[in-house]
Amino acid sequence: MSGEAAEPAAPPRDARAGSPEATSPGERTALPGDAATSLKGGRKGTDGAEGEGAPVPARRPRRHDPNRRDRIIDVTIDVIAEHGLAGTGHRSVAEAADVPLGSMTYHFASLDELVELAFSRYVSVLADRFDARLAAAPESGDLAAIVTDVIMVDFLRARRDLVLAYELYLGAARNPALREVTRTWMRRSRRALERLTDPATARVLDALLEGLVLHNFLATDPMTREEVHQAVARVIGPAR
């Protein structure tokens, strides 16, 4: 051995200053220019000095929105009318309703549940309107003329309602919950018609009404009002 003192061994890599491994889990070494937040809540500038008076971003106040769930249901129908069922999702509804995305799963178990609630509410509005139309008709009035008005005015002039109705039918073909929504709608329509005619005729009229609306909505040469009136009158026959 020589008389020279041995050179001290280099410290382990993970103990060297500035090494990422030198920090404990969840910590990191402050580097020049680092703007890490201090424990006191201030910000550190590029020189490492703590900015005692530096502003801390204020937390956004929570918006008081007690009717949020109902509003989301209403907005869902608007989204379906504009984009169809295929284009309706949690994100598109949340954006249209101006609510956080988390509100969707907070208030509703699934997108299917939300769509079902939206269509149920929409169908209730249409059924109420149909009830009011038939309730205002005189019992001795021309039932064929009344039903013709429903087809030509209440439905065919309301394109949005037509689009939503057929989005509902399309969804009901695959979704049992939506199928029950359509059945509820049909039952209410028949009950309204039964105020003015017998149950058997009301059932056929309800089916004819939907068929004529679909035909005229899609046809390039839709039936005239007179043709619709004649078709309805044939179904009613001597029953009214």
181: nearest Cα among 134, 128, 118: 118
Interval 4-46: pLDDT, tens = 444 455 445 444 444 444 444 444 444 444 444 444 444 444 4
The DSSP symbol for 44 reads E
Q: Tens digit of pLDDT for each residue in 42-87?
A: 444 445 444 455 565 555 555 667 789 999 999 999 999 999 999 9
| Residue ranges of domains in the chain | 68-239
pLDDT in tens, 120-175: 999 999 999 999 988 887 776 688 998 999 999 888 888 899 999 999 999 999 99
- Predicted model pTM: 0.69
Fold entry, domain 68-239: Tetracycline Repressor; domain 2 (1.10.357)
Closest by alpha carbon to 122, among 66, 75, 175, 157? 75
